[in-house]
């Protein structure tokens, strides 16, 4: 089987970005020629026998994390500075062979869970452009969901590395506080900020997270992971009581119950727990004195540049950050005591369980709904996420299919250093994944592409079939081609591979109209995947368009030459 080179991956990524029309994802994108030069050098190192665990992995970095050669803005042009070096998190990925493509958009100063609080533009959801992407790590999540990159770095204080993952149908890995240095990260709340990873593949995401771990000699909060127990033969998972699942978006409670049933069927003991102490702790993050740590981080900058509020400084962010001014040191000590008491109560309730399972967030608003109520809409997003860093928990957002065509996600949360155990549990939640080749009306940008998204599908890669196929234009509505295998005089046909969860794949196949069928299709690299074919009878009167090499080339043909 052939291996895609770093150069090929970079070329495909820039082609995909050019066709996607999502400029709001990026604040700074590296010149393609520079990235290709780096990729060629990397391919040469690999060819020479150098072992690089992340060789050719494409990375996007949230623009509150330093990347040498690119400005750090934290989502505010007036705040921009030129870092002298990569943040340790970035440097460690690069040392392992990863390639950084650029810096992504975010809720300004990492303040928000909506992805709309940026002078660089609101980041639209990857699959539903009229809905929010989630924040604050908005651009990073969408860059992964749309397959611009393999992984992306975000940060998480209140849920910014998890909520966008849920709303875009990918994994959001929030390590335990302190495992990854936050040196080179513009602080939101310095004492509880975490560098996170977004990924379509959990294994790759976990590898990246572990690659970034370890002391750097600068960050005084870094700590070494304590070896914790793995997942036992009879895992036990807590879920909220019914009252704490009220207020979810339509269909979400039923989808959550479906995940619970899947876990139970896999041998997990599921128990209901009253999580009121955890939710009360979550309310302290913005409703108590802890918000003053945001004021300590960027309050002086906002105050000194007050004339920019409403322009380069987002007014909602300015209001939230300025809100810390009203608290005293006495308030901070009182809230810290209350937090610790709530944390102890929560720990006692979860005692004997391996993790807490919740929905990642409570709803998926439209851009218009957030614009109408920016603070109230945002507050609903962090119900299940806000307590994790305050109480020193690890957490993992897991894609769990779709509801009404929108991604739905759940979250596993457990005490510090349970990161690997959460990944083991997440694999029980995730459906088996099935690749499918599309060559016509289901391609990106074509009329039926939404059917793949509704089935929970994610774009994987562009491919070509082996030279054993012919393509015909079928007389259907909407127009689509039919692919058939031939013994000789075949062509390599361009297409896309999408990855669907098993349950979504089954529903998708069951809905296919005649004459379309699904069969095994051989690819140019020697592998084979499930793919669209058509019943032989339809080819009798269908024009052979194989010479164009693919459906998109056929649609773009010179009309005068028909």
- Annotated active-site positions, please? 62, 136, 160
**Other CB atoms closer than 10 Å to residue 42's CB: what's the count?**
22
Backbone angles phi, psi at 443, to 5 degrees: -65, 160
Q: Please tell me the number of Cα atoms within 13 Å of 102 on its side-chain side.
A: 22
Helix axes 419-429, 202-212, angle to 10 degrees: 170
Give the dihedral sign, CA 524/56/163/24: negative
Backbone angles phi, psi at 426, to 5 degrees: -60, -35
Compute CA 290 distance to the chain's CA centroid, rounded to the nearest angstrom: 27
Contact between 103 and 63 under an 8 Å Cβ cutoff? The reply is yes
Alpha carbons 547 and 157: distance in angstroms, whole number: 54
Backbone angles phi, psi at 283, to 5 degrees: -65, -20
Alpha carbons 251 and 431: distance in angstroms, whole number: 19
Torsion, CA 493, CA 499, CA 504, CA 509, rounded to 10: 20
Residue with tokens 């704490």: 244
Q: Tell me which residue of 454, 449, 459 sits closest to 551, measured CA to CA.
A: 449
């Amino acid at each position: 089987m052939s291996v895609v080179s770093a150069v090929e991956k970079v070329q495909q990524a820039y082609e995909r970005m050019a066709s996607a029309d999502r400029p709001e994802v990026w604040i700074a994108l590296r010149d393609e020629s520079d990235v290709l030069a780096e990729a060629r050098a990397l391919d040469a190192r690999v060819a020479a026998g150098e072992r690089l665990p992340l060789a050719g992995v494409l990375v996007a970095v949230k623009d509150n994390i330093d990347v040498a050669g690119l400005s750090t803005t934290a989502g505010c042009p007036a705040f921009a500075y030129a870092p002298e070096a990569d943040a340790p998190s970035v440097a460690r990925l690069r040392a392992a062979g990863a390639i950084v493509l650029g810096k992504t958009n975010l809720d300004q100063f990492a303040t928000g869970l909506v992805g709309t609080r940026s002078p660089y533009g609101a980041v639209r959801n990857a699959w539903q452009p009229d809905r929010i992407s989630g924040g604050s790590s908005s651009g990073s999540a969408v860059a992964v969901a749309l397959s611009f990159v393999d992984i992306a770095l975000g940060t998480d204080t209140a849920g910014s590395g998890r909520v966008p993952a849920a709303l875009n149908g990918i994994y959001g890995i929030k390590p335990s506080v302190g495992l990854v240095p936050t040196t080179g990260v513009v602080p939101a709340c310095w004492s509880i900020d975490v560098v996170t990873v977004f990924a379509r593949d959990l294994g790759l995401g976990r590898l990246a997270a572990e690659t970034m771990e370890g002391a750097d000699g600068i960050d005084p909060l870094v700590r070494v992971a304590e070896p914790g127990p793995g997942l036992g033969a009879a895992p036990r998972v807590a879920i909220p009581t019914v009252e704490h699942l009220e207020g979810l978006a339509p269909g979400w409670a039923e989808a959550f119950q479906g995940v619970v049933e899947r876990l139970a069927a896999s041998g997990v003991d599921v128990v209901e727990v009253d999580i009121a102490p955890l939710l009360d702790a979550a309310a302290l993050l913005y409703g108590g004195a802890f918000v003053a740590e945001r004021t300590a981080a960027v309050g002086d900058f906002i105050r000194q540049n007050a004339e920019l509020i409403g322009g380069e400084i987002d007014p909602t962010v300015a209001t939230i950050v300025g809100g810390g001014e009203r608290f005293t040191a006495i308030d901070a000590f009182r809230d810290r005591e209350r937090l610790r008491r709530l944390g102890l109560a929560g720990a006692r309730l979860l005692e004997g369980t391996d993790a807490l399972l919740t929905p990642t967030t409570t709803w998926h608003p439209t851009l218009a709904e957030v614009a109408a109520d920016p603070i109230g809409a945002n507050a609903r997003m962090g119900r299940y996420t806000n307590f994790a860093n305050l109480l020193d928990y690890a957490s993992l957002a897991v894609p769990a299919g779709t509801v009404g065509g929108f991604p739905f996600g759940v979250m596993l949360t457990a005490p510090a250093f349970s990161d690997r155990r959460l990944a083991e549990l997440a694999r029980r939640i995730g459906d088996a994944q099935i690749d499918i080749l599309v060559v016509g009306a289901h391609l990106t940008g074509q009329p039926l592409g939404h059917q793949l998204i509704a089935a929970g599908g994610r774009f994987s890669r562009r491919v070509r079939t082996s030279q054993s196929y012919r393509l015909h234009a079928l007389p259907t509505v909407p127009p689509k081609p039919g692919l058939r295998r031939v013994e000789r005089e075949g062509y390599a046909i361009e297409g896309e591979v999408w990855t669907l969860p098993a349950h979504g794949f089954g529903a998708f196949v069951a809905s296919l109209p005649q004459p379309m069928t699904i069969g095994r299709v051989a690819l140019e690299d020697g592998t084979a995947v499930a793919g669209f074919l058509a019943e032989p009878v339809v080819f009798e009167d269908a024009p052979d368009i194989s010479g164009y090499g693919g459906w998109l080339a056929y649609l773009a043909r010179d009309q005068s030459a028909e």
